[in-house]
Structures are given as C-alpha cells and as structure tokens.
Amino acid sequence: MSKRDWRETDEDVENVEAWVEIVYDLLDLVPEDHRAEVLAACSKKEEADREERERTGPGFSVMKLDENWRDGPGVRHWNAIERLKSLIVQVFVRQIRNNHHPRDAADILFVEHPHGDGSGSLGDYLDDLPRSRR
C-alpha cells in the first residue's frame, strides 16, 4: 500500500463505528473503576459544548477567561494531561507497529493527514526533538 492509501478520508472521519472502536481502545487505558465516570463527564462536556456551538454558530468558539480560569481542570491537571497524552501516543504507535510490517507502519504513522492539525504530518513534530530521547 502506498502512503496515499493510508490517508484518512472524509468517509473515515464520519465513520461512527470506527470512532467507537478507537475510543474504546483509548478507554482501555483508563482504570476500570473510572471508565463510566470518564464517559459520563465527556458526554456532559460535549453536551455543553454542543449547546454553545448552537448559540454561537459552527466553527466559532468563545474562550472564557475569567478570574477563575486557572481553577479549570485543563490548567490544574496540565502536567498529568500531557503525560497521559504521551501514554496514548505510545500505546497507539505500539499497536500500529506491532500489527503491520515495518514499512507499512512507517507509512501509516508518517502519512500527511488531511484532517490533522498544523501540517498534518507527525514527522514535522518529531524532526527537531533531541535524538537521544528517541
């Protein structure tokens, strides 16, 4: 398969069943006794965000920075969040690497993602990292 074949499509991004499997894999990293709580909190947060999008229109988000913004979980737990994101990346990269031939794994991991952020290329965010940590 070529790199182009590994790019996600609009159809992929709209595939609810595929997303369920990915979220379920992600949820497997959460301690069992917290999974329902995490899912419930995510649902509640998404509902609030959906209501905000309905008020403001699609693609527009109002960032609310009041005097209590530092008390939010995204700030209070910043370091834990970054460590857990790193865990997620490591686990998913390992799954891709273990389930594919090395060349295909590299093509999957380093393809340019049309639905990604920034350049859409993982390599662009790794190239300038110190080699000693790789």
Encode pLDDT of 75-99 as tens digits: 999 999 999 999 999 999 999 999 9
Q: Give a yes or no: residue 37 inside a domain.
A: no
Q: Is residue 51 part of a domain?
A: no
Report yes or no on 41 lying in a domain: no
Taking each continuous run of H as one helix and of E as one strand, the counts in the chain are: 7, 0
**What separation, in Å, do the N-terminal and C-terminal C-alpha atoms of the chain show?**
26
Give the model's pLDDT for residue 60: 61
Instruction: Look at residue 46 and tell me if it is in a domain.
Output: no
- The Cα 15–Cα 108 span in angstroms is 18
Total domains in the fold of the chain: 1
Is residue 54 included in any domain, yes or no? no
Distance CA 134, CA 132 (A): 6
Flag whether pLDDT at 112 surpasses 50: yes
- Please give the residue range of the domain that contains residue 70: 3-30+63-133
Beta bridge partners of 112: 121
Q: Sorting pLDDT into bands at 50, 70 and 90, what band is 73? A: confident
